[in-house]
């Protein structure tokens, strides 16, 4: 069966520090991968999605970037974190196009910026 | 492009029914429904791909009115475990947008 791993579970970082969150999927090949952010008490905002290695689409301009160095690995990065980057970051995968396939989420990373 | 859900919040007693609505200003090609419990990741409930389609999952079902660009989630005989925030989601191609969310609380 397919599983998705996301780490770390929680992270506290100072303003201006770099960020690297990692997500890996097991048990499937060529998944669509997504990064979402959820502010406290709010909905899910799509940040990036990827349909293949090296293929990244950005939905929201910000100081974050994403990379997909391997088929089942998705990384979210930042060179300098802002206070507004705080939130719950979720990685998800789907077996095909997002609009007609269910998305399955990792457990998320709770990021606090001090 | 974010779908709008109503109501924003609802409180039910065990055994009561609820309806959550999801509306989009853009054409809907599919509608997903997810439930997120506090502090956890969203969990997929169901997906509707065709206008007029209805699906059921235990005592939770949904309908999709493609012409009206709407979907509704029906929760019958609610249980304590139904508490959480419900999100609809829709998109086109690989772009995907979650709705504004509906907080549902079931009390004994």
pLDDT tens-digit series, residues B34-87: 999 998 999 999 999 876 676 676 789 999 988 888 999 999 999 999 999 999
**How far is B21 from A112, CA to CA, in rounded Å?**
33
Could you tell me which residues come within 8 angstroms of residue A32 by beta carbon, excluding any fewer than 6 positions away?
A: A49, A50, A51, A93, A94, A95, A96, A97, A98, A101, B94
**Residues on chain A touching B93 (C-beta within 8 angstroms):** 97-99
CB contact under 8 A, B97 and A46: yes
Burial letters A2-39, b for 16+ CB under 10 A, else e: eebebeeeebebeeeeebebbbbbeebeebbbbbbbbe
Q: How confident is the model at residue A28 (pLDDT cuts 50, 70, 90)?
A: very high
Position B3 confidence tier, pLDDT thresholds 50, 70, 90: very high
Judged against a pLDDT cut of 90, whether residue A30 lies above it is answered with yes
Report pLDDT for B66: 81
Is residue B14 pLDDT above 80, yes or no?
A: yes
Indicate the pLDDT class of residue A113, thresholds 50, 70 and 90.
Answer: very high
Q: Chain A contacts of B91, Cβ < 8 Å? A: 98-99
Average pLDDT over residues A90-98: 87
Q: Which residues of B touch A59 (CB under 8 A)?
A: 95
Q: Among A49, A103, A106, whose Cβ lies nearest the Cβ of B44?
A: A103
Residue A41: partners with Cβ closer than 8 Å, 6 or more residues away: none
Going by C-alpha positions, the residue among A107, A22, A7, A19 that lies closest to residue A69 is A22
More confident of the two residues B39 and B94: B39
Task: Give buried/exposed letters for B28-67 (b at 16+ CB in 10 A, else e).
Answer: bbbbbbbbbeeeebbebbbbbeebebebeeeebbbbbbbe
Q: Helix, strand or coil for residue B92?
A: strand
List residues of chain B with CB under 8 Å from any CB of chain A: 2, 29-30, 32, 34, 40-44, 47, 49, 87, 89-101
Phi-psi label, residue B106: left if phi above 0, alpha if psi -120 to 50, beta otherwise: beta
Q: What's the mean pLDDT in A25-48?
A: 92
Shortest Cα distance, chain A CAs vs residue B14, angstroms: 24
- Beta-carbon contacts of residue B27 (< 8 Å; ≥ 6 apart): B66, B69
Non-local (6+) Cβ contacts of A114 within 8 A are A12, A13, A14, A15
pLDDT at B26 over 90: no
Confidence at B28, pLDDT banded by 50, 70, 90 = confident
């Amino acid at each position: 069966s397919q599983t998705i791993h996301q780490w770390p579970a929680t992270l506290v970082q100072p303003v201006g520090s770099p960020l690297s969150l990692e997500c890996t999927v097991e048990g499937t090949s060529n998944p669509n991968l997504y990064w979402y952010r959820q502010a406290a008490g709010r909905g899910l905002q799509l940040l990036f999605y990827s349909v293949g290695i090296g293929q990244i689409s950005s939905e929201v301009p910000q100081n974050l970037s994403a990379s997909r160095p391997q088929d089942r690995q998705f990384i979210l990065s930042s060179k300098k974190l802002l206070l507004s980057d705080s939130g719950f970051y979720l990685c998800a995968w789907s077996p095909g196009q997002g609009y007609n396939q269910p998305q399955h989420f990792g457990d998320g990373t709770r990021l606090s910026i001090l | 492009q974010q779908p709008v859900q109503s109501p924003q919040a609802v409180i039910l007693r065990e055994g009561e029914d609820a309806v959550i609505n999801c509306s989009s200003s853009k054409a809907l090609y599919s509608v997903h429904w997810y439930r997120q419990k506090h502090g956890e990741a969203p969990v997929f409930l169901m997906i509707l791909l065709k206008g007029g389609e209805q699906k059921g999952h235990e005592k939770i079902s949904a309908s999709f009115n493609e012409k009206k660009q709407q979907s509704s989630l029906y929760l019958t005989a609610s249980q304590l475990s139904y508490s959480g925030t419900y999100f609809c989601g829709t998109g086109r191609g690989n772009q995907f947008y979650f709705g504004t969310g509906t907080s549902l609380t079931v009390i004994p």
